[in-house]
Amino acid sequence: MAGSWHSRPPVGAQQGWQDLHQEDSMHKQWAAVDDYIAGLFPSDPVLDAVLRATRDAGMPQINVSPVQGRLLHVLALACNARNILEIGTLAGYSAIWMARALPADGKLISLEFDPKHADVARANIVRAGLADRVDVRLGTALDILPQLAAEGAGPFDLIFIDADKINLTTYFDWAVCLARPGSLIVVDNVIRGGDVLDAASDDAGLQGVRRFNEAIAADPRVTATILQMVGSKGHDGLALAVVRG
């Protein structure tokens, strides 16, 4: 009897293991569906090479998924973007997706804090044949954004924010300033696996997301929504805002 008793986990532990197993199964299904969607479209050697370069450089694997990248491309086409701003370059994967939607005389400016990431991104952008359209600027976004305003770099038709979450609301404020009526602002990672429900969290990044979500919902300068998403990147979401006239 003792052996059979100890071979069974406590009831609470059993439930916990079942929940973890169910969650793992859901993640596998989300990833499989993402693979299915991506597989419907032709393989892209250039973008595949960007992902390999990211891994080979030992960079964090936090780029948008291929399905999300295609969404950014479609959004850029939908708003006839000629001028795009990206806050957070990483290895240039999302920048390439968006820049491919630009006309020949279009421009994308991407801001990156890490010199190594910027170097890898620039090499990837050259390989993609987009060096004439994409300008990767190295430095702190909070320093570069006022410079862009001073030099009259905008207005930007599409702005994609995928950077640190503590300063998210400030990035968004600058995005609105650098936009025009009708510009689209897209902000990544605003659900964070559902952790946004935890108002008592001591995670500074999470609290930054919560502040941003509350701010965008009340911001009279934009019409916005927040969309939760699942896929190969797990459970997260995007905020989308159109600047009002």
- 3-class state of residue 90 by DSSP: coil
Fold entry, domain 45-243: Rossmann fold (3.40.50)
pLDDT at 61: 86
The pLDDT confidence band at residue 7, using thresholds 50, 70 and 90, is very low
The pLDDT confidence band at residue 12, using thresholds 50, 70 and 90, is low
pLDDT at 23: 73
pLDDT at 131: 97
Residue spans of the domains in the chain: they are 2-39, 45-243
- Are 134 and 100 in contact by the 8 Å Cβ rule? The answer is no
Calculate the CA dihedral of residues 15, 16, 19, 21 and round it to 10 degrees: -110
| DSSP H or E stretch at residue 187 | strand 179-188
pLDDT at 170: 98
Tens of pLDDT, residue by residue over 14-70, are 555 566 667 788 889 999 999 999 999 988 999 999 999 899 989 888 889 999 999
Q: Which of 44, 67, 93, 109 is nearest to 236 (CA)?
A: 67
In this predicted structure, the answer to whether residue 227 has a pLDDT above a threshold of 90 is yes
Contacts of 184 (CB under 8 A, 6+ apart): 75, 79, 157, 158, 159, 240, 241, 242, 243
Least confident range from 8-17, 103-112, 124-133, 169-178: namely 8-17
pLDDT at 21: 62
Tens of pLDDT, residue by residue over 66-125, are 999 999 999 999 999 999 999 999 999 999 999 999 999 999 999 999 999 999 999 999
Burial class (CB in 10 A: 0-12, 13-18, 19+), 92: buried
The model's pTM is: 0.89
pLDDT at 1: 34
Cis peptide before 155 (omega within 30 of 0): yes
pLDDT at 24: 80
